[in-house]
Chains A and B, each alone.
Chain A
């Protein structure tokens, strides 16, 4: 167990109910970035177009996003894997679980997207992922201050969206969890008093 996880455990035991959740507008903005930018090369094979309805998109909006693809189709990359292999010499990884598959989760994705810079040789490199084969799609390495701010917002949005994509049941889970934990606290308090009452018989 890493130190992060240990801290997570302590944190979760201290503030179990104060879970933050990304707002709907941000997730919707992030979904657009994912479909329009990431999905060109990356698949999100565990996410279906119909899942966007759960994010608050209307059916007409999802229809516009999916184009010719079916409502129940998964988000498969627009480039064929063979072409990707020829172009990047690797097949870009699936992004459905990316926010769970890296230590740091959404923060890692944000740092990676915004981590591109121009090195001393004039080549584009990445602070977080040295030797990355992904191009600087938002061109943050060349951006001015205003452009940079805009890209950072996009990176935040898409990171939040990918976190949702990796765990779409998180909201439902936390909501149900509050009731379940509340129930068990109540039950345990009652059991405690019942225990005291029963053990009193022994004197």
Chain B
């Protein structure tokens, strides 16, 4: 065995790679469980790809067969129900994990210099994931699948001049139909592999800049510990907790995230009473509907997703450690999280009366959080420096400020 490894090592950096990137990879010892969600996301991606490959063996991407083939999987394929519920619940689990991962990044300011590219590759992953989930939702060919795809592809009508042509081009016809289903199936199978490649890029960026840590200071070498066995076991324990919650839903409440209307086959002649997207799109859907004009709503929704990429520039404070030493930023973070839940609630209900106003206020708070941040963060920086910080954090902040002013 050792001889074979030695033979490989002369030709390919196998041992070096495993040591450098996995076993000996230096990791801050103070990482909390909030840092385990990236690993969980990678694990869910694997679950989705594996279950998806098996589903594709039995699924028929044909508008006259798709709905029946899902029931064939549920009733006749051995453990087909398990594979399908792992996959349908896995989609929700993926977003739950990724949103937590993003919330941790925002709370601890992990997007800050020098981790901008790490954050942006993550932003790209989020977009790929959203596209994949959206296309996958069409495949069961239920009422919500069909009308969800109709509503979302319709948004591209907002494109200047070529709106109608783009919508027709996306759908492969004038309405969502068989050509839409076949292309969504094809791309839904492709995109996870793009995500897989993008995860590799995300990890290369991570291993270049290394993990941030909750203290906000760059740790001395002695405070970095090898990834294995300390974080392999910590992540595995976190995975155990995750699996318990995930499998409770899969086995005992598998219809939790499947809208009742999606158990009715797609019917182009009959619009459901209320078209509601999956929960993970609800806050963005609420923003879309809170702007009265279609083009304005689409632009607002697109910005609401993309604006996270601007965080390294919007946050102008040089005080490290994220929300930990920054009371105003911390308050903004919690208001933002609550606001997202409020928008999610609004997105799930018809926009009428009070709820419409709540949606508009929620949308305003969403964007104001980002727009006020450049001013608030600079003011807060002066405030916390005057108030006093732990010496190591203050030293880092003052060094960054001095560097920045030296450059001016």
Contacts and interface: CB of A to CB of B under 8 A. Distances in A.
B203 interface: no
A56 interface: no
A93 B244 CA distance: 38
Closest 4 CB pairs of A and B: A177-B251, A188-B240, A101-B263, A12-B253
Interface string A80-98: 0000000000000100110
A16 B251 CA distance: 9
Contacts of B376: none
Interface string A138-160: 00000000000000000000000
Contact of A188 (B237, B248, B251, B253): B237
Interface string B248-288: 11111111111011011000000000000001001000000
Nearest to A105: B260
A173 to B, nearest CB: 6
Contacts of B71: 46, 96-97
B233 A198 contact: yes
Contacts of A97: 71, 263-264
Interface of B: 29, 71, 74-75, 81-82, 85, 225, 229-230, 233-234, 236-237, 240-241, 243-245, 247-258, 260-261, 263-264, 279, 282, 348
A192 interface: yes
Contacts of B229: 198
Given A184-B240, A198-B233, A202-B225, A13 B251 contact: no
Nearest to A191: B237
10 contacts: A9-B249, A12-B249, A16-B248, A96-B71, A97-B264, A173-B85, A177-B250, A180-B251, A192-B237, A199-B230
A174 interface: yes
Contacts of B240: 184, 187-188, 191-192
Contact of A169 (B74, B243, B260): B74
Contacts of A173: 81-82, 85, 251, 254
A121 interface: no
A25 interface: no
Interface residues of A, number: 38
A8 interface: yes
A1 B259 CA distance: 8
Contact of A184 (B233, B243, B249, B256): B243
Contacts of B282: 1
A101 B233 contact: no
A181 B244 CA distance: 6
Interface string A164-179: 0010110001101100
Nearest to B246: A184
B237 A101 contact: no
A133 to B, nearest CB: 14
Contact of A174 (B230, B236, B252, B261): B252
A21 interface: no
Interface of A: 1-2, 5, 8-9, 12-13, 16, 19, 46, 93, 96-97, 100-103, 105, 166, 168-169, 173-174, 176-177, 180-181, 184-185, 187-188, 191-192, 194-195, 198-199, 202
B contact face: mostly helix, strand, loop, or mixed? helix
A71 to B, nearest CB: 15
A176 B252 CA distance: 10
A179 to B, nearest CB: 10
A100 B251 contact: no
Contact of B233 (A19, A187, A195): A195
A167 B233 CA distance: 38
A93 B265 CA distance: 10
Contacts of A103: 260
B253 A9 contact: yes
Contacts of A194: 233, 237
Given A1-B279, A177-B252, A100 B263 contact: yes
Given A13-B248, A100-B260, A181-B251, 11 more contacts: A1-B348, A9-B249, A13-B245, A101-B264, A169-B81, A173-B82, A188-B240, A188-B243, A191-B237, A195-B236, A198-B233
Contacts of A177: 247-248, 250-252
A33 to B, nearest CB: 21
A69 B240 CA distance: 49
B207 to A, nearest CB: 22
B43 to A, nearest CB: 14
Given A100-B263, A101-B260, A191-B236, A181 B247 contact: yes
A174 B234 contact: no
A185 B71 CA distance: 31
A202 B29 contact: yes
Given A1-B279, A169-B74, A202-B225, A8 B253 contact: yes
